[in-house]
Amino acid sequence: MKARTFTHRTVGAAALAISLAGFLPASTARAADATAAAGDGKWKVALGPGVVVTPESPGSRHTRVFPFPSLDISYDDRFFSQGPDVLGVNALRGTNYHVGAALSFDFQSRNEKDDPHLHGLGNVHGGPKLKLFADYTVWMFTGSVALYQDIAAHGQGKTVPVDLLASVPVGSCLFSIGPGFTWADALYTRTFFGVSSQQSAASGLPVYRTGSGIRDVHLNGYVSYDFSKHWVGSVAVTVGRLQHYAAASPITERRSELNTLASVNYRF
């Protein structure tokens, strides 16, 4: 099997990669050279349907399931559009590393109409974020770090996922697994987990002050399978546990989080 390189991605908890930032809270492995089997040109294109399973809102005991287009488009390993990363650029790149930026859409949100427990807390809207990222691969291990900055003034502040993945190709499969954590600033934790005096009066929940710190620790898993030269299926899963301000918040109903993205892509 051809050697594969990996870049940082929230599909977003997740990804999802989160990571989607709003699906997968951390990076998942991406086989950047997977499309090479279908051609050696600078353009690499893979498209297909996907489905996302993610918490209804941070700390919610409810989950939501919705379709999501699975995209993996890149040009010369420089420009790319992948999952929630609408448009990105690898400003620096090499055989084992990438450093760059992307405009990423974050679906992480909260609607007080979805759950009586949220009444009086107000809504939090998803939106675009600026993503800065870096990853480095040594042998089978890939370390990655990213910073997501809310640029839509929705009170989502900054989050920084840090991850380490071990990846092993076995026949037509690629398996990746590894730990990670997410740091969040005070604005993010206040928006999703804090309770102001006004919110307390409206919701009946106690006042709860927050600050910056570790939002969660998590374990990422990823598997892809090449059905043929053109077809590939993949599943990315992140299992997380809320920490510190997020875990102790009266808004939080469930400390454990499960984010999943499953997709089938056609490589052109």
Question: How do residues 150-171 score in pLDDT, each as one tens digit?
Answer: 999 999 999 999 999 999 999 9
Tokens of 247: 């875990």
Over residues 166-188, the mean pLDDT reads 96
Give pTM, 2 decimals: 0.87
Task: Could you list the beta-strand ranges (E) of 76-140.
Answer: 79-82, 85-93, 97-106, 127-138
**18 part of a folded domain:** no
Domain interval for residue 50: 34-267
The sign of the dihedral angle between the CA atoms of 21, 22, 26, 31 is negative
Torsion of CA 200, 203, 208, 210, to 10 degrees: -110
Q: Is the pLDDT of residue 268 over 60?
A: yes
Higher pLDDT: 39 or 113? It is 113
- How many structural domains comprise the chain? 1
Q: Going by DSSP bridges, is the β-strand pair 256-267/231-242 parallel, antiparallel, or unpaired? A: antiparallel
**47 part of a folded domain:** yes
- Which CATH number does the domain housing residue 42 bear? 2.40.160
d(CA 217, CA 25): 10
- Look-up: residue for tokens 């990996």? 6
Burial zone of 147 (CB within 10 Å; 0-12 exposed, 13-18 middle, 19+ buried): middle
**146 part of a folded domain:** yes
